[in-house]
A and B are shown apart, each in its own frame.
Chain A
Amino acid sequence: MMLLFALVILAIAGLGLFSWVHPKRPLNLFETVGASLFLGSVFISGSLFGLGPFLRGYALVGGIAFLGLTLASCGFWRLRRAQWETLPGARTFAVILLAAILIVAWQAFARPLGADGVFNFEVRARLAWENGGAIPREFFSDPSRNLLHASYPLFVPLNQLWIYLCLGEPHQSLVKVLGVIWFAAAACLTFSQLTRATRSPVPGFLFLAFLFVVPMFVLYPGGAAWVWADFPVSAMAIAALLYLAEYRTDRTGLGAFSLMLAALPWIKREGLILGCLLLAIVALDAFRKRDWRALAIAAPPFLFVVAGWSVFTTAMGAPPVGDFMTPSPALFWQNLEQLPRVIAIAIRELLVWQRWALLWPVAALAWIRIARDSSLSRWRFAVSVNVALIVIYTSVYVFSAWPVLPWHMLTSFPRLLLAPAMIAIVLVSVAVPRRQRDPVEAGSPEMTTESST
């Protein structure tokens, strides 16, 4: 019962947040549910971070529930005049999604969190629960616990803490529900955005199918069933990318993009790279069109989160993560001889069918088709982001501080590739040619719109 309470507060608080940033166009159920679950998780982790040091136990739960309900009330008020639309294929998708969620739930609850899940995330939630709701200050600066990576962002642990506070105890089985929530959010939001963009449900269905075809997305360590930060950061990056695609063509969705962009570095350190790349696209557009509004809206929240977390970890005395040396052009040139080896390992990883199936060869076909076909030109920026991410993630290993480079890449590179892989399946989904009678090619939108008032 208390688990349900925790999830309801998370979802309605997210709805409240979404009501402030939703695109000024007809909304649909899948988008609203997906965005509410993502933004609710951002709200819960953010408010626990802010209120945890001041409130304890049930007072903390009550305070956050009150804030969430207030936000939700404002949200219902703001959304009362929203236009609503029904997406083509919505009912079929709902049925398939339900089956998919059941499979993910089974897989999530049937396996434990894993060592990385415990030591990089869950232990913080456990210590915070024992401490009444705030991670003890000593945790961040304890030199004997250097391997627990105190400077990792707190999105996942604080959502776990929310579940623990509501349940009244740390519970490593029930906390796996978060993986199911984030999977559902990713599937709903991506279906909505792809269906709106292409006016066909087919890419959304393909995206959902690919989540199961590639083992890394759900089953492999780091996937949705494990409740580590890799899946939510990748899913949030996809959501931000799809809102950016919407803004670039329809000039709507900038608010949602900005909020999701800002969440990226709060979920995982790699979110900084993902966010910088998306922001670079916004900056390039602004430079080309001499229109700086989008950059002025999107950049400040992102930079605030990056700078805020950096100031916090410095103030707490958290040691920097020692996996990489501080990048500099001089160091890059010095370690350049490592590059061929890094590239060879990276290519070998992309071809590991046990993790990726045939994703990357199929993605390459999609990139080429999108680059050549003018009807797919709106997705060209996403191809650039996709390729750039793979190149950047590969080249950072030139700065590896591990004595044995292949070992470092073997243990971290596959999970690093999760976000580019998710972008790749979006691109494959839109690049697959559809039948002539398909609405997008016939030019007859099937979406039905109705007002909620």
Chain B
Amino acid sequence: MLGDRRLWVIALISFTFVGAIASSRHFALKAPVFDDPDAALRDIAVQHLGEATALEQLRAGLKSLPEGSPIYFVGSSRSWGGTEIYLLTSCLYWPHKVWFVNTAESLTAPPPPAPPQRAASTDSLFFYETEAPPTKNIVRIGPKLSVIPSRSPRER
């Protein structure tokens, strides 16, 4: 029976028909982009921070931090946005340390390693989808990310 071509014709037509419907849902009807060196970083930043200039704002925010001060990123490991913005910050802030402080009560995946010690006043704090403590020098990047830069040695 499996050597019968008619059976295979029916199977392959059904396969192709279903595949065409499935593929059409994933087909990107957008113009190709050849000239954006930061296309992927920008896409992640815009997707989770909700502003067209989110990547530039994040870069400027990181540049304004005192040289080498560690970052404590407070967010939930259950949220894609939290994890991806943490990783984006970690990549942009190389080679300095960015620690993840997980706020999720129950876990779906193994969390990133906890910071080795509590944050000090020389450390910068990032809050993603988490209420930041009220301070004067808070910087907001989009509606979800709040940055409290560390105080530089001079300010202290």
The reply to whether chain A is a binding partner of chain B is yes
Contacts A174-B34, A402-B108, A403-B108 known; A143 to B113 CB distance under 8 Å?
yes
B156 within 8 A of A: no
Bound-state CA distance A118–B88 (Å) is 9
Whether A213 pairs with B16 at a CB distance below 8 angstroms is: yes
B90 proximity list for chain A (CB < 8 A): 144-145, 147-148
Whether B113 pairs with A354 at a CB distance below 8 angstroms is: no
| In-complex Cβ contact of A122 among B40, B99, B112 (8 A) | B40
Bound-state CA distance A173–B42 (Å) is 11
B20 within 8 A of A: yes
B110 proximity list for chain A (CB < 8 A): 322-323, 401-403
One of A164-172, A235-243, A244-252, A291-299 at the interface: A164-172
Of B11, B35, B84, B100, chain A has the most CB atoms within 10 Å of the CB of B11
Rounded to whole Å, the gap between the CB of A171 and the closest CB of chain B is: 4
Rounded to whole Å, the gap between the CB of B83 and the closest CB of chain A is: 7
B118 within 8 A of A: no
Bound-state CA distance A404–B90 (Å) is 26
Whether A113 pairs with B3 at a CB distance below 8 angstroms is: no
A112 proximity list for chain B (CB < 8 A): 39-40, 42-44
Residue of B nearest to A407 (CB): B108
B26 within 8 A of A: yes
Contacts A358-B14, A402-B108, A408-B109 known; A172 to B36 CB distance under 8 Å?
yes
Whether A172 pairs with B38 at a CB distance below 8 angstroms is: yes
| In-complex Cβ contact of B33 among A173, A356, A362, A373 (8 A) | A173
Q: Which of A400-439 contact B (CB under 8 A)?
A: 401-404, 407-408, 411, 431-433, 435
Bound-state CA distance A130–B37 (Å) is 14
B18 proximity list for chain A (CB < 8 A): 353, 357-358
B3-42 toward A: CB 8 Å interface, digit per residue (1/0)? 1110110011011101110110111101111111111111
A126 within 8 A of B: yes
A49 within 8 A of B: no
Bound-state CA distance A147–B109 (Å) is 11
Residue of B nearest to A136 (CB): B95
Bound-state CA distance A289–B11 (Å) is 39
B22 proximity list for chain A (CB < 8 A): 214-215, 353-357
Whether B23 pairs with A107 at a CB distance below 8 angstroms is: no
Residue of B nearest to A127 (CB): B94
Whether B109 pairs with A109 at a CB distance below 8 angstroms is: no
A347 within 8 A of B: no
Residue of A nearest to B106 (CB): A403
A171 proximity list for chain B (CB < 8 A): 37
Rounded to whole Å, the gap between the CB of A358 and the closest CB of chain B is: 4
B120 within 8 A of A: no
A79 within 8 A of B: no
Tell me if A's interface is mostly helix, strand, loop or mixed: helix
| In-complex Cβ contact of B23 among A147, A219, A372 (8 A) | A219
Bound-state CA distance A108–B43 (Å) is 15
Bound-state CA distance A424–B43 (Å) is 34
B12 proximity list for chain A (CB < 8 A): 362, 432
Bound-state CA distance A365–B96 (Å) is 55
Bound-state CA distance A402–B110 (Å) is 6
Bound-state CA distance A403–B109 (Å) is 6
Whether B3 pairs with A369 at a CB distance below 8 angstroms is: yes
| In-complex Cβ contact of A144 among B42, B83, B97 (8 A) | B97
| In-complex Cβ contact of A146 among B84, B94, B113 (8 A) | B113
Bound-state CA distance A146–B39 (Å) is 24
Contacts A213-B16, A353-B22 known; A219 to B39 CB distance under 8 Å?
no
Residues of chain B whose beta carbon lies under 8 Å from any beta carbon of chain A: 2-5, 7-8, 11-12, 14-16, 18-20, 22-23, 25-28, 30-44, 80, 83-84, 86-88, 90-91, 94-95, 97-100, 106-110, 112-113, 115-116
A–B complex contacts, Cβ < 8 Å, 29 sampled? A105-B32, A109-B32, A109-B34, A110-B30, A110-B32, A112-B43, A118-B40, A138-B95, A145-B90, A148-B91, A172-B41, A173-B34, A173-B39, A174-B34, A212-B19, A213-B16, A214-B19, A214-B22, A215-B23, A219-B23, A357-B16, A357-B23, A361-B11, A362-B12, A362-B15, A368-B2, A369-B2, A373-B3, A407-B109
Besides A111-B30, A148-B91, A173-B33, 20 other CB < 8 A contacts? A109-B32, A110-B28, A110-B30, A110-B32, A111-B28, A112-B43, A112-B44, A115-B44, A127-B94, A144-B113, A145-B98, A148-B87, A172-B38, A212-B19, A215-B25, A355-B22, A357-B19, A359-B15, A365-B7, A433-B5
